[in-house]
Chains A and B, each alone.
Chain A
Amino acid sequence: MQQELKIRKTLGRNYLNENRLAEALDVFSRILIDYPDELETLIILGDFYLASGDGNTAKSIYLRAKQVDPNNKSIECQIALADEIADDGFGEPAPTDLPAVARLLQRLTGNTKSIVEDDIMRAALLLEKVVNSESPAELVSEKLNEIDELLPALIELNIRQAYADGHPDLAEGLRNLQHNIDSQLVSMDDPSRVGDHSSETPHFKGNVLMLLPDLENRSSRMSLLKQALKALNCQVVEKMEYSPSRDTKPDVVITSNPHINPGLMNSLSAISDAGIPIILDLDTDFELQPVSHHEYNLKGLGSQVRSNVYTAALSLAQMVTVPSKEHADSLKNVAQQIRVIPDGWSRQNKLWEKDPPPHATINIGWVGTVGQLEDLVFIRRYIIRIIREFPNTRVVIIGNPQAYRLFESLPENRRLYLPVVAHEEFPYLLSQLDVLLVPLRNTPYNHSLPDSILMEAGARSVPWIASMTPEFRRWHSGGILCETSDEWHLNLRHLVIDGSLRYQLGETGKHAARLREMSELGKLWIDVVNQVGHARGILLPNTESIPAFSPMEY
């Protein structure tokens, strides 16, 4: 039970750290319902009320906390603070009840439209009119604007009705909907939110040459980039070589991992000689990639030729783009300019948002293209223990037969192997999982890895448990990070037991992944193109300059 409490508190704190007050409040208020004497949660909730200006309610909660820990001096200080503003307080009789929490949220965020009783009354009257109307559809059509205005009040009305009818589950579902609407209203009103570029329309609409090492096996990153640039009205051509005498001169060249195909070097030299700006995209830190990595033979810097091309490309490029900040940090002394552009997903691929295929088991999955066998080995025994403990679970290994063999001791119907598929079908593979595991050993290469797999899990609403790497810590949406091996077992066990937590984490991840949809990320790419192209005057005059090293913060 204590572990479950710990996870819920961690989740709540994470929401707080991400300034996601609605979710944080939801988690902490529910903890207090289940554990009325939980000291830390009492203090946090008291702080919430204090911050919202409701001294009366804050004080009542702090007093409860003091009963739990009478010698705690800091609680006395908080009580004193609450006393100072007590006169302005509202005095919630039941501060953990959902209506009270909703009012608290409205006061804290300030940006959302508060639901006043008058609105609720108007909503009730409107609803009654519609129900009793001879032509309800016509009436709804007439009153669309009013309905839009009263939407929060209508939901509040339904929440109260659901409680009154004895359907708390429905009420909580509606409350989540209300929180989501609130969150969206907040993000619409907050231009500082990452990914909201409504005020900075990109202007580059020129010719982009994507110089790729292999057109048959282009990376997911480049495929998505091409789609995104095209959607933003750029003319995009993909090639494996460029000849100045034969090919149209592009405005800018984006090349991806050119060392994989050393033949690209001649083209890059010609492009550089022609004064065409080059953006070099590296999708992993090849300098740190271990020899044992499954892609090393194909993409690593194991040969002199590749190594030379890698170095030369870095020197020719005006800009280097990478998907992780750690990777960017490691290159800042060797590249002219570096930008972090994380990996994304595209709504154009319908599989990201399609309903998951139904399955009768809780599928615990590991994706072989992300980690190595050695990464999985150290949590193998915990997975096997969980699979044996819970008959409704199954381990799913994607794309690594050796890893699948690690689970041969389990019955056949408790394990499933899925092959590697094209990028396009990857969301379908993810949708077959209920919990994704991303263990990574403490190695320099693993620390340089981007958060892509967690973001993709989020886009598919799959909760995850992962190692505490720098990029994972930065992302930290929709899952649980583990520092010790024991935590792997406890967290996995908890996620298997608690379906609502899985759902909640899945929704959190999905929410976070919205900012990585390619229509958003495409604008970041355009920013980069604008920046490198600025010197050639191919951009419209109102393009803003961007700092030389400004990794995106997520």
Chain B
Amino acid sequence: MVITYIFSKRLEDQFRVQLRFRDFSDAINRLSIHRANLLDIDSFIQNTPDAQKTCAESDILVIYRYLYGPILSTIQYWKAREKKVIVEFDQAINYLSPELLDYSFWIEGVPLTDGAEKKVENRIDPAPLEQFKWGLGMVDAAIVPSARLANDWLQYTNIYEIPDYINSSRYPTLEKPHTDQVWLGLGQDVQFASFKNSGLSTAIESICRECPQVSLILCGQEKLIGEGLNIDPSQIKTYSPNNFYEWVNLLLKLDIGLVPIYGDYDLRLSRATLLDFMISKTPWIVTKQSPFASLSKYGSLVQNSVKAWKSEILKVMEQLEDFRREATREPFLFALGQDISVNIDKVLLVYSAILNQSPQKDSK
């Protein structure tokens, strides 16, 4: 089986591309039974000679998220040549709210510009969300990392769930460099609205006022969060990781990881953030919501209220050594078991199923 991953080069997508495409691809190639290639979306659309050769040799094309515009015609091109086409997506784009980053693209059709100022006048019509739904009708299957997401899109195509796995070798052991401070950090996919509406932001403001040794670490969210917080600026540290490795380096320095879940969009998030915390032996607290119920024994769960968040964070801070010790045991072992190399067979099993799938009956 030859699988080609068609990835986005957009900076904002690199974390997911690393997790789901590059790591999967590496793991497949390590097996030496099957082969995986990586191809960027632009070359795929332009059908460059290299892209043509790569896709022609493939059995399966896995496209990252962006089913709109000329990608749809390119899908038809390759389906006509008997390639199985899969879309891989992780965002609940049908639950995006205006304050979320990608709302303007998926819902309003404002083109993606990779950091540059967005030109509102050249809107994509129909909006990418609508085209995405068309695209789901064309592909052979979609793969998502969460059960709710799978359930949402079941009526559009064959949906398979492959949970997020990690590449444990990318997380080196690192001593926390700040012995007299407590660094509180958010998961990399936490949205501003969730941070606010869950009560977590108020809880942290209160804790920072009471405990000057506490710092809030903002990673890529500083533009949205920094301005509205009533926290002494010396207690906020902001980082803008440009790649996965920089994010991991920051992650290893956190003392407590926080994941507020609020609203329908968050309910469809994958477990990647929690795996990050667990593999870096960081104690974590997450909103008590069903997506992560199965992981509850590896961390702390709280109801969404200022009081609950504050109380739980203070509790972990007070017993930080105990929680750290605990984080090096079961949660860390669990995370090790979620290494992509250990689980790549499960991924390949899904690809095989898609390769061999046929409709229930042929009407012709």
Chain A interface (Cβ < 8 Å from any Cβ of B): 351, 356-363, 392, 401, 404, 411-413, 415-422, 425, 427-429, 434, 499, 502-503
Taking a contact as CB atoms under 8 Å apart, the answer to whether B134 and A419 are in contact is yes
Check A412/B361 contact, CB under 8 A, given A401-B126, A418-B138, A421-B77. Answer: no
With a CB–CB cut-off of 8 A, which chain A residues contact B138? 416, 418
Taking a contact as CB atoms under 8 Å apart, the answer to whether A351 and B80 are in contact is yes
With a CB–CB cut-off of 8 A, which chain A residues contact B363? 359-363, 392, 434, 499
Q: Residue B122 at the A interface, CB < 8 A?
A: no
Taking a contact as CB atoms under 8 Å apart, the answer to whether A358 and B155 are in contact is no
State in angstroms the CA–CA spacing of A122 and B73 once bound together. Answer: 56
What 10 A-B pairs come out closest when comparing CB atoms?
A428-B80, A360-B359, A417-B134, A419-B72, A416-B137, A413-B155, A358-B362, A362-B363, A421-B76, A419-B73
Known contacts A351-B80, A421-B77; 10 additional CB pairs below 8 A are A358-B359, A358-B362, A359-B362, A360-B361, A415-B137, A416-B138, A419-B72, A434-B364, A499-B363, A502-B364
Taking a contact as CB atoms under 8 Å apart, the answer to whether A360 and B360 are in contact is yes
State in angstroms the CA–CA spacing of A388 and B233 once bound together. Answer: 61
Q: Can you offer 26 A-B residue contacts whose CB atoms are under 8 A?
A: A356-B364, A358-B362, A359-B359, A359-B363, A360-B360, A360-B362, A361-B363, A401-B126, A413-B155, A413-B156, A416-B134, A416-B137, A417-B134, A419-B72, A419-B73, A421-B73, A421-B77, A425-B73, A425-B77, A425-B80, A428-B80, A429-B76, A434-B363, A499-B364, A502-B364, A503-B364
State in angstroms the CA–CA spacing of A425 and B81 once bound together. Answer: 9
Check A428/B360 contact, CB under 8 A, given A413-B156, A420-B73, A421-B73. Answer: no
Check A412/B80 contact, CB under 8 A, given A359-B363, A360-B361, A419-B72. Answer: no
Q: Residue B234 at the A interface, CB < 8 A?
A: no
With both beta carbons as reference points, the residue of chain B lying nearest to A502 in the complex is identified as B364
State in angstroms the CA–CA spacing of A427 and B363 once bound together. Answer: 18
- Provide the main secondary structure of the chain A interface: mixed
With a CB–CB cut-off of 8 A, which chain B residues contact A361? 363
With a CB–CB cut-off of 8 A, which chain A residues contact B155? 411-413
B residues 69-85 touching A (CB-CB < 8 Å): 72-73, 76-77, 79-80
Task: Give min CB distance, A226 to chain B, whole Å.
Answer: 21
Q: Residue B358 at the A interface, CB < 8 A?
A: yes
- Max chain A Cβ within 10 angstroms of own Cβ: one of B77, B80, B359, B360: B80
What does the 1/0 interface line of B322-364 toward A look like (CB < 8 Å)?
0000000000000000000000000000000000001111111
With both beta carbons as reference points, the residue of chain A lying nearest to B68 in the complex is identified as A419
Q: Residue B133 at the A interface, CB < 8 A?
A: yes
With a CB–CB cut-off of 8 A, which chain B residues contact A502? 364
B residues 117-162 touching A (CB-CB < 8 Å): 126, 130, 133-134, 137-138, 155-156
State in angstroms the CA–CA spacing of A418 and B126 once bound together. Answer: 14
Count of A-B contacts judged by CB separation below 8 Å: 63
Count of chain B residues with a beta carbon within 8 Å of a chain A beta carbon: 21
State in angstroms the CA–CA spacing of A359 and B359 once bound together. Answer: 6
With a CB–CB cut-off of 8 A, which chain B residues contact A413? 155-156
State in angstroms the CA–CA spacing of A362 and B359 once bound together. Answer: 12
State in angstroms the CA–CA spacing of A538 and B126 once bound together. Answer: 54
State in angstroms the CA–CA spacing of A357 and B79 once bound together. Answer: 9
With a CB–CB cut-off of 8 A, which chain A residues contact B133? 412
Task: Give min CB distance, A368 to chain B, whole Å.
Answer: 13
Taking a contact as CB atoms under 8 Å apart, the answer to whether B126 and A358 are in contact is no
With both beta carbons as reference points, the residue of chain B lying nearest to A417 in the complex is identified as B134
Task: Give min CB distance, A514 to chain B, whole Å.
Answer: 20
With a CB–CB cut-off of 8 A, which chain A residues contact B362? 358-360
With both beta carbons as reference points, the residue of chain B lying nearest to A416 in the complex is identified as B137
State in angstroms the CA–CA spacing of A392 and B364 once bound together. Answer: 12
With both beta carbons as reference points, the residue of chain B lying nearest to A414 in the complex is identified as B155
- Max chain A Cβ within 10 angstroms of own Cβ: one of B72, B134, B155, B360: B134
State in angstroms the CA–CA spacing of A151 and B282 once bound together. Answer: 80
State in angstroms the CA–CA spacing of A434 and B137 once bound together. Answer: 17
With both beta carbons as reference points, the residue of chain A lying nearest to B125 in the complex is identified as A401
State in angstroms the CA–CA spacing of A413 and B134 once bound together. Answer: 10
Contact of B76 among A356, A404, A428 (CB under 8 A): A428
State in angstroms the CA–CA spacing of A356 and B73 once bound together. Answer: 18
- Max chain A Cβ within 10 angstroms of own Cβ: one of B130, B137, B138, B155: B137
- Max chain B Cβ within 10 angstroms of own Cβ: one of A357, A427, A502: A357
State in angstroms the CA–CA spacing of A416 and B79 once bound together. Answer: 15
State in angstroms the CA–CA spacing of A421 and B138 once bound together. Answer: 13
State in angstroms the CA–CA spacing of A427 and B79 once bound together. Answer: 12
State in angstroms the CA–CA spacing of A503 and B362 once bound together. Answer: 13
With a CB–CB cut-off of 8 A, which chain A residues contact B72? 419
With a CB–CB cut-off of 8 A, which chain A residues contact B76? 418-419, 421, 425, 428-429
State in angstroms the CA–CA spacing of A434 and B359 once bound together. Answer: 15
Task: Give min CB distance, A509 to chain B, whole Å.
Answer: 14
With a CB–CB cut-off of 8 A, which chain A residues contact B130? 401
With a CB–CB cut-off of 8 A, which chain B residues contact A427? 80
Task: Give min CB distance, B157 to chain A, whole Å.
Answer: 9
Task: Give min CB distance, B52 to chain A, whole Å.
Answer: 13
Task: Give min CB distance, A355 to chain B, whole Å.
Answer: 9
